[in-house]
Structure 1
Amino acid sequence: MFTPEEFIGVITREIRKLNVKCAVAAVSGGVDSTTSAVVARLALGDKLIPVLFDTGFMRLNETSEIINNLTGLLPIRLIDVKEEFYRAMINMSDAEEKRLAFRSTFYNVLSRVVKDNDCDWVVQGTIAPDWIETTGGIKTQHNVLAQLGIETDKVYGFKLLEPLKDLYKDQVRVLARFLKIPSAVTERQPFPGPGLSIRAVGRLTMEKLEVTRWSTRIVEERLSGLGLSQWFAAVWEDNRTTSDELSKRIKDLGSGLTVDVFSIKGTGVKGDSREYGSVALVRGKLSSWSDVFNLYSRLTYGTNVTHVIYELASKGASGGYFAAIRAVVTDDYMTANVPMLSESLLSSIADELMSNKLINAVGFDVTPKPPATIEFE
């Protein structure tokens, strides 16, 4: 059984044995990195320098909200590095290329901060699912280095301290509550390190990024307070073709049902392997709303489909963007289920998203993990 008090005692003793001159803590505002920094500060005191990078891929007003949440808890320094990340990643399309480019840019920036402050260590909030998914080849988490054999002291000029690397998300939340970290942090839904850059699916452009940022705020506000583990919007070009083969698999579930396949790809996990496959869209009227939660099993089995989406609204025009509503419930983030949200609620959110002239259609992702991953990239 996980005991926060015992864990803190053990980990702070281990940190104090390291003879740290100075450590930079990379804080994102989420529960993992914040808790990691607070634990490290118990051991290191003023030798710890917590920093928050504004990568340009954060949500609307997120940097100011994070700083407000951490006031009195950590002496956070905000560093604007948007232009560096934009130069490195704008116009990239492939999911793994985006993640790798983000990681490279992130650690180049971080190593510069370490050097400027004459530090020798970096503290980060890596937890078990991060390195399990990365070493398993499912998708690269930007904060996984040592587990891949990357010697950070030789490559980046700092040693790496990961106090939470053997914990899972539910254990981290227990630890954070014990440390009296504000609920705005402990109950905050996870947000990927690369942020909106991997929710603007496919080719990354400034326009798509801003549509994703706008859509995210609506979905997060409308689905808050429902007991969900993670909920967000993803956006991509509404380019698709109809698949007669996939359409046949669901024709008995309603009238006029058609399956389209988007030109972009989405990351999934089948067996123990990563699948970078098709994203399917179901259009038409289901006989029963409950059938929406059975669509994925019909369309992912024996195919390369990783995400299945049910269309909620469409302008019927060509071009523009497609906005996907994604929501899951999970304890450990290794597996996740899709909550049985009502059609009326989702349709109402879709109508609000459709008010954006750049959005052509909206749908609800009905795929659990596995076979999908929680994120699209």
Structure 2
Amino acid sequence: MVDAESFIPDAKAEIVEAIGDDNAVIALSGGVDSSTAAALAYDAVGDQLTPVYVDTGLMRKGETEQIRETFEYMDSLRIVDAKDRFLDELDGVTDPEEKRHAIGEQFIREFEEVARDVDADHLVQGTIYPDRIESEGTIKSHHNVGGLPERIDFDGIVEPMADLYKDEVRDVARALDLEEIISERMPFPGPGLAVRIIGEVTEEKLGVAREANHVVEEELEAYDPWQALAAVIGKATGVKGDNRVHGWVVAVRSVESRDGMTARAQEIDWETLQRIQSRITGENESVARVVYDVTHKPPATIEYE
């Protein structure tokens, strides 16, 4: 385990050495990894750093407002509305790896545009060790590692936490006195809800996935999961009122883990599962049924794509 108190000054020194007198941008998603990296880098170089939150349209409910409130102390914070551009890039894309690469490339292009505006030469990222392991192997690419395009218009990429596991990042976040809503927040994938939608990403599916994920996170908070999520996995026949419907199937998943490399599906009581399905189907007329995923990792991954 990393010693957070000694890691922090070393990481800041690494950031200062890498950036020097130049400017940098950092990809800020609101998750614990990018938020911790942003806090480290901002403490290290101040307004030489421009934190960039890109609203991809693939985010959790209320995410943009939460980012604005949490990081308003960073005077250089930029919030970029890129929803239409990301959805255009994902139009017709169904393959999971193609999705990740399309999202990774669009992220970089958004950061490059801000970097040109602020004359930044470096990109800081919250990449952690499991991201590198999964991308360097054959499991899946991460949008900020294996999902990066070959052409990147930055002199350097700075990854101060590339050797840390998720629980170690949380220790660093706590040592930096980040708000609990950040330090204890469950993981959320960089590509966002796009990897919680099987097949093509559409505005309708995104709406279903966003609301269903909100319900799952609320209802399962007491179980303290490593990660809890809802995914739109297809369509099936159902009945609502006196009418037959061909609606969306939402899969609910909740797992326990230490570092995300392996995970065990949580045992959730029947009453809670019934409350989840009742809320998801009741609050969204286009959802026909809800299922609970009991598969561990391996053989499954935590996310669906």
TM-score, normalization by structure 1: 0.76
Distance across 2 between alignment mates of 1:77 and 1:108: 15
Deviates more, 1:215-224 or 1:79-88: 215-224
SS of the residue corresponding to residue 120 of structure 2 reads coil
Distance across 1 between alignment mates of 2:178 and 2:112: 27
Distance across 2 between alignment mates of 1:28 and 1:60: 13
Identity of aligned residues (%): 41
Segments of 5+ residues of structure 1 without an aligned counterpart are: 241-313
Is residue 38 of structure 2 the alignment partner of residue 37 of structure 1?
Answer: yes
SS of the residue corresponding to residue 246 of structure 2 reads coil
Distance across 2 between alignment mates of 1:348 and 1:17: 52
- 8 Å contact kept, 2:173–2:183: yes
Shift of 1:211: 1.1
Aligned partner of 1:206 in structure 2 is 203
Superposed counterparts of 1:50-129, under 5 Å: 50-72=51-73, 75-129=76-130
- 1:315-337 Cα offsets, whole Å, 9 max, x none, are 49562110111101111000011
SS of the residue corresponding to residue 262 of structure 2 reads coil
Shift of 1:145: 5.3
The residue type equivalent to 2:132 in the other structure is W
Distance across 1 between alignment mates of 2:120 and 2:280: 46
Superposed counterparts of 1:180-191, under 5 Å: 180-191=177-188
Distance across 2 between alignment mates of 1:92 and 1:117: 33
RMSD of equivalent CA atoms: 2.0
Is residue 294 of structure 2 the alignment partner of residue 366 of structure 1?
Answer: yes
The residue type equivalent to 1:102 in the other structure is I
Aligned partner of 2:262 in structure 1 is 335
Shift of 1:217: 1.4
Paired residues in the alignment total 300
Distance across 2 between alignment mates of 1:205 and 1:122: 30
The residue type equivalent to 2:233 in the other structure is W
Shift of 1:186: 0.3
SS of the residue corresponding to residue 208 of structure 1 reads helix
The residue type equivalent to 1:136 in the other structure is G
Aligned partner of 2:189 in structure 1 is 192
Deviates more, 1:69-78 or 1:43-52: 69-78
Distance across 2 between alignment mates of 1:200 and 1:158: 35
Segments of 5+ residues of structure 2 without an aligned counterpart are: none
Superposed counterparts of 1:1-377, under 5 Å: 1-18=1-18, 19-72=20-73, 75-144=76-145, 155-238=152-235, 315=239, 317=244, 319-355=246-282, 356-377=284-305
SS of the residue corresponding to residue 44 of structure 2 reads helix
Distance 1:74 1:5, change over 3 A: farther
Distance 1:319 1:174, change over 3 A: same
Q: Over alpha carbons, which structure has the higher Rg?
A: 1
Distance across 1 between alignment mates of 2:10 and 2:280: 49
Which one scores higher on RCO, CA 8 angstroms, separation ≥ 6? Answer: 2
- 8 Å contact kept, 1:30–1:185: yes
- 1:37-90 Cα offsets, whole Å, 9 max, x none, are 111122212211111100010112210012212233675221111111011002
- After the TM superposition, which segments of 4 or more aligned residues of structure 1 sit over 4 Å from their partners? none
Shift of 1:27: 0.5
